[in-house]
C-alpha cells in the first residue's frame, strides 16, 4: 500500500484531481454502464455479446457460454462506461476465468466506432495460463504487449489489478506493487480519453497461438467485485 500511495503522489505533483468513481456492483448502475448486446464481427473474436451474460451476485459476474446457429461459437458478457476517462488510476478487483481460448479483460478503449483513432490500455488474463498477466497498449492501432509471470494463479481468488496512466508513462500494478512501467521514451503512450471496459470472451481460432483454442461447448465465468477510477486533469488540458 505504501508503494501505491507514493506512486500516486508522484502522479499528482503536477496534476489536479478530477472526479472519478468507485463501483462495488451491489447492483448494475445503468446510468454509468452500458451492457453490450450485439453480434460482434471482429477477426480476433469468436464471441457475440448478450445482456444475459452479465449478472450481479455479490459482484459483477461475466459469463461465457456456447451458442448455436451463429457465426461466432460463443456468447459472452461485456460492460463499458458511458463516459470517457483520461489520465489517472484504473483499478479492478477481479477473478478471471480459466480455460484455453478464454480471455478476461479490464481496459480503456477508444477507436473508429467513436470517431477517433484506436488508443487502448489493457490488463488481460488468458485462461490457458492464469499464472500470467498480459499487459498491452494500442496507439493509433499499433500494438505493444508483454506477459508478466505471477506468483499465484489469478483464477483462484479476486485480487487487485491496476494501471496508472499519464502523458509520460503507463504503470501496471498487482496487489499494490508495480510490476511494469512503459515510458514515453520506450515508445508511444496512449493519449486519447477512453471508455472503461470489463469483459469475458472466446478468441477466434485464427489467434490460437496467442490465446489457445476454446473447445466446442465450454463455459466459463469471471467475477469483478470492484472498479475504481481516479482521473487526473493536467494543467495544460
Please tell me the predicted confidence (pLDDT) of residue 211: 98
Please tell me the predicted confidence (pLDDT) of residue 236: 53
23 is catalytic: no
Record the cell numbers describing residue 175, joined without a space.
Answer: 496487489
H/E element, 210: helix 208-211
Mean per-residue pLDDT, 91-98: 98
| Percentage helix, strand, coil for the chain under 3-state DSSP, each rounded to 5 | 10, 50, 40
CATH 2.60.120.380 applies to domain 2-233: no
Residue 232: pLDDT band with limits 50, 70, 90: confident
Distance separating alpha carbons of residues 34 and 37, to the nearest angstrom:
9
**Strand duo 47-49 + 74-85: pairing:** parallel
Q: Which of 23, 39, 71, 120 is catalytic?
A: 120
Distance separating alpha carbons of residues 199 and 203, to the nearest angstrom:
12
pLDDT tens by residue, 159-206: 999 999 999 999 999 999 999 999 999 999 999 999 999 999 999 999
120 is catalytic: yes
**pLDDT at residue 210 tops 60:** yes
**Where is pLDDT greater, at 9 or 50?**
50
Q: Which of 91, 124, 164, 181 is catalytic?
A: 124
Closest CA to 103 of 120, 80, 123, 73: 123
Beta pairing partners, 138: 120, 143
**Where is pLDDT greater, at 235 or 9?**
235
Query: What DSSP string runs through 3-30?
Result: HHHHHHHHHHTT-EE---EEE--SS--T
Record the cell numbers describing residue 111, joined without a space.
Answer: 477507436
**Where is pLDDT greater, at 6 or 114?**
114
Question: Where exactly are the structural domains of the chain?
Answer: 2-233
- For cell 489469478, name the residue: 154
CA distances from 205 to 55, 75, 96, 152, 212 (A): 27, 15, 20, 27, 8
- 163 and 139 Cβ atoms separated by less than 8 Å: no
Beta pairing partners, 148: 133
**Where is pLDDT greater, at 5 or 156?**
156
Give the CA count within 13 Å in the CB-facing half-sphere of 78: 24
Amino acid at each position: 500500500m505504501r508503494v501505491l500511495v507514493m506512486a500516486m503522489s508522484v502522479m499528482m505533483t503536477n496534476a489536479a484531481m478530477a472526479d472519478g468513481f468507485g463501483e462495488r456492483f451491489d447492483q448494475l448502475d445503468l446510468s454509468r454502464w452500458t451492457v453490450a448486446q450485439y453480434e460482434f464481427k471482429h477477426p480476433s473474436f469468436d464471441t457475440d455479446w448478450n445482456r444475459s451474460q452479465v449478472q450481479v451476485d455479490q459482484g459483477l459476474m461475466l459469463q461465457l457460454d456456447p451458442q448455436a446457429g451463429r457465426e461466432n461459437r460463443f456468447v459472452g458478457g461485456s460492460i463499458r462506461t458511458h463516459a470517457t476517462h483520461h489520465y489517472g488510476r484504473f483499478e479492478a478487483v477481479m477473478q478471471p476465468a480459466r480455460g484455453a481460448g478464454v480471455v478476461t479483460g479490464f481496459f480503456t478503449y477508444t477507436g473508429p466506432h467513436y470517431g477517433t483513432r484506436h488508443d487502448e490500455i489493457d490488463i488481460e488474463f488468458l485462461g490457458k495460463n492464469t499464472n500470467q498477466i498480459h499487459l498491452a497498449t494500442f496507439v493509433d492501432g499499433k500494438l505493444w504487449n508483454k506477459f508478466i509471470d505471477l506468483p499465484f494463479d489469478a483464477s483462484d481468488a479476486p485480487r487487485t489489478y491496476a494501471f496508472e496512466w499519464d502523458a509520460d508513462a503507463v504503470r501496471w500494478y498487482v496487489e499494490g506493487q508495480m510490476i511494469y512501467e512503459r515510458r514515453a521514451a520506450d515508445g508511444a503512450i496512449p493519449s486519447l480519453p477512453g471508455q472503461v471496459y470489463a469483459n469475458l470472451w472466446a478468441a477466434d481460432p485464427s489467434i490460437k497461438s496467442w490465446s489457445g483454442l476454446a473447445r466446442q461447448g465450454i463455459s466459463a465465468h469471471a467475477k469483478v467485485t470492484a472498479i475504481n477510477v481516479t482521473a487526473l486533469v493536467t494543467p495544460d488540458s
